[in-house]
Amino acid sequence: MSILSIHSDEHFMKQALEEAKVAFEEGEIPVGAVVVANNKIIARAHNQVQRLNDVTAHAEMLAITAAQNFLGSKYLDNCTLYVTLEPCTMCGGALYWSQISKIVYGANDEKRGYRLMNPEIIHPKTEIKSGLLAKECGELVKSFFHQMRGNNS
């Protein structure tokens, strides 16, 4: 049996996945995010677009703001964002301006992800890691939309 380090990418992505599950339960598109600095979660968020009636209330945007407030800085250099779904262009732009050091995301967003819409939106110095727990992250989103379609029939 392998022991999962509390400082591993997988551990932090599982924390983001827990946030995504909260979004799912609240009727939001299930995307969760955590920001980590010095192996410590300094911000956690999930989509709240419906709840706040705000199209900018994506998990990444809320996590960026919370992390900046925690640090007392507009820059997130030396921080890592873990997010369950590939960021959109809006979130990619905010991550660019935050100067975040690393982004780790789970599932690809084949319809609205930054890679499709604007692959250059992420800062060139930002390290990107994709596909971590992609199956779990993607299944949650698929399940949400399947449930939504079923409720609207």
Confidence of residue 4 (pLDDT cuts 50, 70, 90): low
Question: 3-state SS of the chain?
Answer: CCCCCCCCHHHHHHHHHHHHHHHHHCCCCCCEEEEEECCEEEEEEECCHHHHCCCCCCHHHHHHHHHHHHHCCCCCCCEEEEEEECCEHHHHHHHHHHCCCEEEEEECCCCCEHHHHCCCCCCCCCEEEECCCHHHHHHHHHHHHHHHHHHCC
In the chain, what percentage of residues exceed pLDDT 90?
91
**Is residue 120 annotated as a catalytic residue, yes or no?**
no
> Considering 19, 28, 60, 86, which one is annotated as catalytic?
60
The tens digit of pLDDT for each residue in 16-59 reads: 999 999 999 999 999 999 999 999 999 999 999 999 999 999 99
The tens digit of pLDDT for each residue in 84-118 reads: 999 999 999 999 999 999 999 999 999 999 999 99
